[in-house]
């Protein structure tokens, strides 16, 4: 076991251990039909630089330069499945067909540089409608370009935010369809890996934000149902030969919240769903 402390303890780590780490880190990895040239993945980091969900030159340079630099898997930032699913007005989107062409330009360049393009599909729920970080990062009211947020329960993300709209069953089914449609567009756009964003409270997992008493809330089994339903919806349109990842938060770091034990139990369910990798 090699820890980060080992890596940064100058002179204390044996050269053989460094060679072992390097041999693993820079060895290829096969996931279904995809072969990654090494084990390095660019984390999905929001750029807040899109307009109406459209990618532009900033995204081409940002992702393209990492592909040219040797990264094996370029995971695109949280990409909204609907306008209301954006964190900020600057988020990328895949809720309409017009978003496909600008992304094709990026995925082609990534592949030309020997890397694999991936995309993270997301719905920000009650954490949506936020100003871009360098513009203050506060909640955006509709009159300032914001929108109504949605959530499993009527619990605001913070004291400064209004109460989100509680999703009914029909609205949940609409979101499932939006994930499937976005996955289909992602395939058309040239992405080879799909990641479902279920971290940071973006899904129904945490008992702190999900106090429903229907099929989508309450027990662990019911709180995980939305994520499992999203996976099923996406798998209807995503080819079996291409990988699917799921990103989770291992813990809420709060009493009575989502924790490591539940993450382990969720991992077992994701294995049954034949998810290829859990991004923790």
Q: By the 8 A CB rule, do 55 and 46 touch?
A: no
Distance CA 215, CA 132 (A): 35
Which of 63, 157, 202, 216 is flagged as catalytic? Answer: 202
Closest CA to 225 of 160, 182, 276, 173: 173
Secondary structure (3-state) at 41: strand
What distances in angstroms separate CA 128 from CA 3, 59, 82, 208, one per listed residue?
A: 36, 21, 11, 18
Closest CA to 17 of 8, 27, 26, 7: 7
Distance CA 125, CA 172 (A): 11
Answer yes or no: 202 catalytic.
yes
Length of the chain: 280
As annotated, the active-site residues are: 202
């Amino acid at each position: 076991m090699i820890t980060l402390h080992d890596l940064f303890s100058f002179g204390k780590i044996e050269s053989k251990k460094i060679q072992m780490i390097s041999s693993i880190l820079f060895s290829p990895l096969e996931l279904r039909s995809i072969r990654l040239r090494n084990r390095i993945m660019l984390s999905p980091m929001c750029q807040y630089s899109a307009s109406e969900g459209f990618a532009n030159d900033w995204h081409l340079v940002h992702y393209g330069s990492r592909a040219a630099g040797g990264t094996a898997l370029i995971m695109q930032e949280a990409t909204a499945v609907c306008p209301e699913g954006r964190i900020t007005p600057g988020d990328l989107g895949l809720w309409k067909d017009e978003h496909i062409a600008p992304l094709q330009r990026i995925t082609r360049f990534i592949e030309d540089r020997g890397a694999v393009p991936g995309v993270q599909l997301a719905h920000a729920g009650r954490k949506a409608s936020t100003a871009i970080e360098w513009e203050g990062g506060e909640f955006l009211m509709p009159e300032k370009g914001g929108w109504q947020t949605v959530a499993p329960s009527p619990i605001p993300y913070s004291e400064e935010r209004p109460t989100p709209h509680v999703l009914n069953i029909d609205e949940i089914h609409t979101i499932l369809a939006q994930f499937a449609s976005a996955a289909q567009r992602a395939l058309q756009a040239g992405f080879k890996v799909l990641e479902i964003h279920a971290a940071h409270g973006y899904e129904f997992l945490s008992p702190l934000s999900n106090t429903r008493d229907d099929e989508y809330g309450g027990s662990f089994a019911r709180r995980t149902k939305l994520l499992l339903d999203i996976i099923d919806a996406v798998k209807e349109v995503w080819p079996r030969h291409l990988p699917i990842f799921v990103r989770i938060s291992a813990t809420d770091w709060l009493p009575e919240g989502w924790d490591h034990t539940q993450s382990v139990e969720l991992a077992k369910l994701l294995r049954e769903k034949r998810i290829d990798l859990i991004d923790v």
